[in-house]
């Protein structure tokens, strides 16, 4: 197991290096000049040139690249070109919010999606299956900025159960939870819709297997057959999808954060993009990629837990 | 015993009731403001260029002089940090006498002439100011004594007071704080205004508190929470649910009508108007032919644009500078006339119409306005092939002359010289070393614009500005479209303490007199 983990970690290094290089290139390919974005529409060319010098944009691209790689590898992402604040400080301030949302939505999505998928598979083509499939279609079809506004209209304005502005005080667990419910449900329901479909089809496949019939023939209770023998075998594709989906959740949080007025990585990245804040974008994209690499690693390790064959390989 | 046992409970109940009543009776002192923003950018007032930043710095800083709160009329300019001032007969030497005992926020001591000299020199330095261009005529700024400042100009300017007012480069900052904080000043500003900086939570809010030592008296509002809420829909919902007291609105009739119907909501629509203009590049084909430019001017239908955008928030422009500017005149814009437009196009050699590629921003408000114009021009056979790009890209591309027609919407300091200089003086032509925002390569009114700048006689100066506008209209450097006012909404419990007719910071001023009723 230890070797397996180490091997996976080493494999992540070239990925991160490639990502850093890509990030550097992509950020600079996008047209738009940060100096102009910072100084506004009344700045003279002199002022723009002075700002470019201050931001280090007048250096040759290769020098900027070496600076960037050197600093990134030391974990120093520098300061924002626009606000002058250290990037890690800004990211650190919102990271707990993003993690809260990601984990809570993942829980909602998995806890709703897996049972729904199993039940739908067991009642294949009966009303319960049709209803589950219909609901998951509805869940998949609604973009977050529509379902989120509906959620706010119903639960924040009509029933006044939750606040509209979701910037929680991290030191207050009740407040943190209070402001997490609506966005986590919004994101989680979409994810549940997806997970339901995957679980259902994977489960259907497993249900037809010989070992399932054998287990039943041996007299193992049906409930146990389904949850122990069925779901455990149907679980691998579900774990893969959950793992992939966490990446999507981190990305999708952009819209959710904006609709629910939550702080988070997504909101920062949109702001940085509008302002052409190169250093901030570089830092954020690197952190995003790092998170995704970690999630993939965790997913791989989970395979090992579910399926002993993976560990031995 | 029972009776006695009940007594403390009764007393407590009565006490609680009293306390509750007192809590209800005492007005709120925390103001929560919702702004359409991801984050604040620069809080150094001389670097603050976005509406988001400008709105907030106006609460923290003073100028030497100021507009009366709620007004953008230069005639209302009165004392702020300077109590009085005088100028030489040729208007080249100005002496300002400072107020005594003005304290900087925090522990930065008293405001003196040194701070003023430092601030104005910084404002004129393109490395440390986004408004250096406004100070081009400054020769030197000197402290005669701790409470007297003398500004010497290279040549007279149309409105020196306009440059040193509480707007853009005119804000006075603490020299000691700037030198101590360096680059951090941008995220930790030190001013002398009614509210002082407490903290910024990135992407969430800017927190301010009352400056109890404010020279006009302690503010009635004690804390301001300036929240960054980029989604229009959820910002409106937050206002409806009572989580916001004041909110940045949308200059659109549907929003105004809907918001006015909310209980306890007051919609404020105020100056300055941003004038949207099509700048036509006279040096590029086919716009180098004045008949094509005239055809565009005839094809534009301003009343229709105003009906579309809404009567409460829009005004019909009558000149190439915004209405209400000192020196503004009805410059005789060409009326809407499709037949004439078609005839002119035919004369210019385009009997079957023509297509022009135009680079435009994807910002929803500006895009919608441009799409209406696109539909109007199409009726005359002029097809605008819109190349939609992201907003920062748009700004970069139009400065490289890549779009023959540039849609630009802006408000400036309300003296004709500023708008005329930035948009129609050939020295401001994009692509030149002194470029500002002359996208049309207009040069017909250079003589008048330059002469007016140094004309000592007020009436003659205004006459020159008016001639300049008429010449620009006659040459069709630009086609005015619509003027859009600022729209905000507040709870009816919030009393600004003045009548809000306008605000150059583009957001309502919160002063020492602002309070909850």
* Touching B: A residues 171-190, CB under 8 Å: none
Does the CB of A42 have a partner CB in chain B at under 8 Å?
Answer: yes
Asked if the model's pLDDT at residue A313 lies above 60, the reply is: no
CB-based contact, A26 to chain B, within 8 Å: no
pLDDT band at residue B20 under the 50/70/90 scheme: very low
Q: Does the pLDDT of residue B261 top 50, yes or no?
A: yes
Contacts of A160 in chain B (CB under 8 A): 241
User: Residues A247-255: what's their mean pLDDT?
Assistant: 80
Q: What residue of B is the nearest CA neighbor of A165?
A: B238
Q: Could you tell me which residue, B435 or B302, shows the higher pLDDT?
A: B302
Give the containing element (helix H, strand E) for A52: helix A45-55
What's the pLDDT at B4?
41
Q: How far is B406 from B384, CA to CA, in rounded Å?
A: 12
Q: How far is B90 from chain A (nearest CA, A)?
A: 29
Q: How confident is the model at residue B500 (pLDDT cuts 50, 70, 90)?
A: very high
A27, A30, A38, A47: best to mutate for the B interface, most B CBs within 10 A: A47
Average pLDDT over residues A173-198: 91
Q: What is the pLDDT of residue B515?
A: 96
Instruction: Please tell me the predicted confidence (pLDDT) of residue A15.
Output: 82
A73 close contact with B: CB closer than 8 A: no
Instruction: Give me the mean pLDDT over the B468-479 stretch.
Output: 97
Phi, psi of B398 (to 5 degrees): -70, -25
Number of H helices, E strands in chain A: 15, 0
- The 10 Å Cβ neighbour count of residue A19 is 18
Residues of chain A in contact with residue B203, where contact means CB-CB under 8 angstroms, are 90, 94, 263-264, 267-268, 271
Of A43, A153, A165, the CB nearest to B130: A43
- Across the range B182-195, mean pLDDT stands at 91
d(CA B405, CA B356): 8
Query: Whole-angstrom Cα distance, residue B431 to residue A76?
Result: 37
Checking if the pLDDT of B180 tops 90, the result is: yes
Question: What is the residue-averaged pLDDT of chain B?
Answer: 91
Q: Which tens digits make up the pLDDT trace of B41-100?
A: 889 999 888 889 999 999 999 999 999 999 998 889 999 999 999 999 988 999 999 999
Cβ contacts of A145 on chain B, cutoff 8 Å: 231, 233
- Give the C-alpha separation, B181 to B175, whole Å: 10
Stronger pLDDT, B94 or B234, i.e. the higher one = B94
Number of C-alpha atoms within 13 angstroms, CB side, residue B318? 10
Task: Please write the tens of the pLDDT for every residue from A1-49.
Answer: 677 778 877 887 888 888 888 888 887 877 777 777 777 766 777 777 8
Average pLDDT value for residue range B484-491: 96
Give the lowest-confidence range in A18-32, B212-226, B306-320, B347-361.
A18-32
pLDDT tens string A173-184: 899 999 999 999
* pLDDT one-digit tens code per residue, A273-295: 877 788 888 888 888 888 888 88
Kindly state the percentage of chain B with pLDDT values over 90.
76
What pLDDT, on a 0 to 100 scale, did the predictor assign at position B338?
Answer: 95
Does residue A97 belong to the interface with chain B, where contact is any CB pair within 8 Å? no
The chain B residue lying nearest A87, using CA atoms, is B202
- Decide: A185 and A106 in contact? Cβ < 8 Å: no
Neighbours of B264 (CB within 10 A): 11
Residues from chain A that touch B422, judged by Cβ atoms under 8 A, are 42
pLDDT, residue B260, reads: 95
Q: How far is A271 from chain B (nearest CA, A)?
A: 6
Task: Judge whether residue B287 has pLDDT over 80.
Answer: yes
pLDDT at site B7:
45
Of A42, A93, A145, the CB nearest to B201: A93
> Binning pLDDT at 50, 70 and 90, where does residue B464 land?
very high
So what's the pLDDT on residue A34?
76
Q: Which pLDDT band, with edges at 50, 70 and 90, does A246 fall under?
A: confident
Per 3-state DSSP, chain B is made up of helix, strand and coil in percentages (nearest 5) of 35, 25, 40
Asked if A33 lies within 8 A of B396 by C-beta distance, the reply is yes
Kindly report the nearest CA distance between residue B418 and chain A, in angstroms.
11
Question: What are the helix (H) ranges across B226-277?
Answer: 232-240, 253-260
Asked if residue B9 has pLDDT above 60, the reply is no
The mean pLDDT of chain A is: 84
Give the residue among A270, A269, A271, A273 at the shortest CA–CA distance from A284.
Answer: A269
The residues near A172 (Cβ < 8 Å, ≥ 6 apart) are none
Q: What's the alpha-carbon Rg for chain A, to the nearest Å? A: 24
Which residues contact residue A17 at a Cβ distance below 8 angstroms, ignoring those fewer than 6 apart? none
* C-beta of residue B249 within 8 angstroms of C-beta of residue B506: no
Average pLDDT, stretch B106-124? 95
What's phi and psi for B438, nearest 5 deg? -85, 95
Task: Sort out which chain A residues have CB atoms less than 8 A from B42's CB and list them.
Answer: 38, 82-83
* ipTM > 0.85, yes or no: no
Chain A residue with minimum CA distance to B54: A40
Helix, strand or coil for residue A53? helix
Structural domains of chain B ordered from first start: 26-245+493-517 (3.40.190.10), 271-485 (3.10.105.10)
pLDDT at res. A275: 75
d(C-alpha B413, C-alpha B321), whole Å: 11
pLDDT over 60 (residue A124): yes
What average pLDDT score do residues A230-258 get?
Answer: 85
The pLDDT value given to residue B21: 47
Nearest CA of chain A to the CA of B163: how many Å?
A: 15
Which residues of chain B make contact with A154, given a CB cutoff of 8 A?
none
Q: Take residue B104 and report the two structure tokens written for it.
A: 């900087």
What integer is the mean pLDDT of A128-140? 87
pLDDT category of residue A311 using cuts at 50, 70 and 90: low
Q: Which residue has the higher pLDDT, A286 or B445?
A: B445
CB B501 within 8 A of CB B71: yes
Does the predicted model carry a pTM greater than 0.95?
Answer: no
Chain Cα centroid distance, residue B42: 15
Test A84 with B205 for CB contact under 8 angstroms: no
Exposed, middle or buried by CB within 10 Å (0-12, 13-18, 19+), for A223? exposed
**Cα torsion A290, A292, A294, A300: sign:** negative
As a whole-number percent, the residues of chain B with pLDDT over 70 amount to: 95
């Amino acid at each position: 197991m230890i070797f397996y983990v180490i091997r996976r970690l080493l494999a992540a290094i070239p990925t991160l290096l490639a990502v850093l290089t890509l990030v550097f290139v992509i950020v600079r390919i996008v047209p738009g000049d940060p100096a102009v974005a910072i100084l506004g529409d009344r700045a003279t060319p002199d002022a723009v040139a002075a700002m470019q010098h201050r931001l280090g944009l007048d250096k040759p691209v290769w020098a900027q690249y070496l600076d960037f790689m050197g600093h990134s590898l030391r974990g120093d992402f520098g300061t924002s070109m626009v606000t002058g604040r250290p990037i890690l400080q800004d990211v650190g301030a919102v990271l707990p919010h993003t993690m809260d949302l990601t984990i809570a939505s993942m829980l909602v999505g998995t806890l709703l999606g897996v049972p729904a998928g199993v039940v739908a598979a067991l009642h294949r083509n009966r009303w319960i299956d049709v209803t589950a499939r219909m609901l998951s279609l509805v869940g998949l079809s609604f973009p977050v900025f529509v379902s989120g506004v509906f959620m706010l209209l119903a639960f924040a304005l009509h029933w006044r159960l939750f606040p509209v502005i979701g910037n929680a005080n991290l030191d207050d667990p009740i407040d943190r939870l209070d402001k997490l419910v609506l966005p986590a449900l919004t994101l989680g329901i979409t994810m549940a819709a997806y997970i339901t479909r995957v679980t259902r089809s994977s489960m259907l496949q497993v249900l037809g297997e010989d070992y399932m019939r054998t287990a039943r023939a041996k007299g193992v209770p049906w409930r146990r057959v389904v949850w122990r023998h069925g779901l455990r075998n149907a679980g691998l594709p579900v774990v893969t999808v959950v793992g992939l989906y966490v990446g999507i959740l981190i990305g999708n949080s952009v819209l959710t954060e904006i609709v629910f007025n939550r702080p988070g990585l997504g909101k920062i990245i949109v702001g940085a993009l509008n302002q052409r804040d190169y250093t901030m974008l570089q830092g954020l994209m690197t952190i995003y990629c790092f998170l995704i690499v970690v999630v993939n690693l965790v997913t791989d390790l989970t395979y090992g837990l579910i399926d002993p064959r993976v560990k031995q390989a | 015993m029972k009776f006695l046992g009940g007594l403390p409970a009764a007393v407590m109940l009565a006490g609680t009731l009293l306390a509750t009543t007192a809590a209800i009776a005492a007005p709120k002192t925390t103001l929560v403001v919702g702004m359409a923003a991801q984050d604040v950018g620069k809080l150094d007032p001389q670097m603050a260029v976005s509406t988001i930043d400008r709105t907030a710095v106006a609460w923290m800083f003073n100028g030497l002089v100021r507009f009366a709160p709620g007004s953008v009329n230069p005639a209302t300019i009165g004392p702020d940090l300077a109590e009085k001032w005088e100028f030489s007969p040729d208007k080249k030497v100005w002496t300002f006498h400072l107020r005594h005992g003005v304290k900087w926020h925090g522990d930065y001591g008293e405001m003196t002439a040194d701070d003023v000299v430092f601030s104005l020199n910084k404002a004129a330095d393109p490395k440390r100011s986004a408004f250096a261009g406004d100070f081009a005529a400054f020769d030197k700024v000197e402290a005669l004594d701790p409470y007297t400042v003398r500004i010497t100009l290279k040549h007279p300017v149309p409105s020196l007071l306009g440059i040193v007012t509480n707007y853009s480069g005119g804000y006075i900052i603490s020299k000691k704080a700037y030198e101590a904080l360096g680059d951090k000043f941008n995220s930790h500003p030190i001013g002398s205004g009614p509210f002082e900086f407490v903290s910024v939570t990135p992407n969430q809010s800017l927190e301010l508190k009352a400056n109890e030592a404010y020279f006009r008296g302690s503010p009635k509002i004690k804390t301001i929470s300036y929240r960054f809420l980029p989604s229009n829909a959820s910002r409106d919902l937050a206002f409806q649910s009572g989580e916001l007291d004041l909110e940045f609105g949308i200059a659109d009739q549907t929003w105004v009508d809907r918001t006015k119907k909310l209980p306890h909501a007051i919609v404020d629509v105020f100056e300055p108007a941003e004038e949207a203009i099509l700048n036509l590049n006279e040096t590029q084909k086919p716009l180098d032919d004045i008949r094509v430019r005239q055809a565009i001017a005839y094809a534009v239908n301003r009343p229709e644009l105003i009906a579309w955008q809404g009567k409460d928030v829009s005004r019909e422009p009558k000149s190439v500078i915004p209405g209400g500017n000192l020196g503004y005149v009805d410059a005789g814009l060409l009326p809407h006339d499709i037949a004439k437009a078609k005839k002119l196009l035919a004369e210019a050699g385009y009997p079957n119409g023509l297509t022009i590629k135009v680079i435009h921003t994807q910002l929803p408000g500006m895009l919608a306005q441009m799409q209406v114009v696109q539909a109007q021009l199409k009726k005359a056979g002029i097809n605008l092939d819109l190349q939609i790009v992201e907003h920062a890209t748009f700004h970069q591309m139009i400065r490289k002359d890549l779009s023959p027609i540039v849609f630009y919407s802006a408000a400036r300091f309300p003296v004709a010289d500023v708008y005329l200089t930035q948009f129609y003086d050939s020295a401001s032509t994009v692509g030149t070393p002194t470029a500002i925002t002359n996208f049309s390569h207009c040069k017909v009114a250079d003589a008048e614009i330059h002469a007016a700048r140094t004309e000592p006689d007020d009436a003659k100066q205004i006459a020159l500005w008016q001639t300049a506008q008429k010449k620009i209209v006659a040459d069709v450097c630009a086609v005015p479209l619509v003027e859009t006012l600022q729209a905000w909404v507040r709870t009816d419990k919030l009393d600004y303490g003045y009548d809000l007719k306008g605000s150059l910071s583009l957001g309502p001023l919160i002063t020492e007199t602002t309070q909850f009723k």
